[in-house]
Structure 1
Amino acid sequence: MTTIDPSSQVALALKSRIAALKERGRAKDSSPQQASPAHQGAITGTLTQRMQAIAPDDPHRRQKAVRLFLQAELVREFGDGLLNDPQFGTMLDAVQEQMAQDKTAAAAVSALGDLLLAGKSTA
């Protein structure tokens, strides 16, 4: 039996869902800013710190971990300017809601949350 990495499934689903947003962004700005390789390391460090800040007894910790991951991936893909967009949180809510409504994506998201939190304790 082949095991599929849930983070890959979520990343693939996320990329396909936001492809249209990326095209609209390019139409508005012909040169979208992506995070530089050096800045990507800083994003990863910030993600690790924020994962560690999630309380072990928080009943929503899995969802929070996935949200942090999504936020970091979107910022990595589209640049830091996304963090200043007042609709960014709403978009993250919508993405998480859509993934929760799909059985396959929801299972992958749940597994991803567990993976992210497992990594938290070893970091």
Structure 2
Amino acid sequence: MEREKAQEIAALLSAFLSERMGPYLRLCEQNFAEALRLYDWNLQISGAFHQPIGIVEIVVRNSLASQLAKRHGSRPGTWLDDPDGAFSEMAASHIRAARRRVHKTNRGERLSRIDGRRVI
């Protein structure tokens, strides 16, 4: 039984023994069980922050979109059309590409992600 446990730990160690587990092992003086507990604690605490950070991100993004829409005013189109030329050429190019993808899906989705990056 001890041998099986040692083999399991060795298998885990080889899978985790990378740059990922290195800092945990150093903090725990190379004690793999302690390092794994610390890693697990870090996963739990990170997960606890994930939801509130996601909510804040949405609130900030929607608030920015609202303010940009107000700034755009009654001009034709939307703030994404960038009538003031505030966006860099790269940002404008990403917006155009995202619009093409949205038009292809024909669902009128909100443009919050462009090529895996946030628009705002």
Give TM class, smaller chain.
under 0.3
Q: Higher RCO, 1 or 2 (CA under 8 Å, sep at least 6)?
A: 1
Q: What is the TM-score when the length of structure 2 is the normalising length?
A: 0.25
Structure 1 or 2: more helix by fraction: 1
The structure that has the greater radius of gyration is 2
Q: What is the TM-score when the length of structure 1 is the normalising length?
A: 0.25
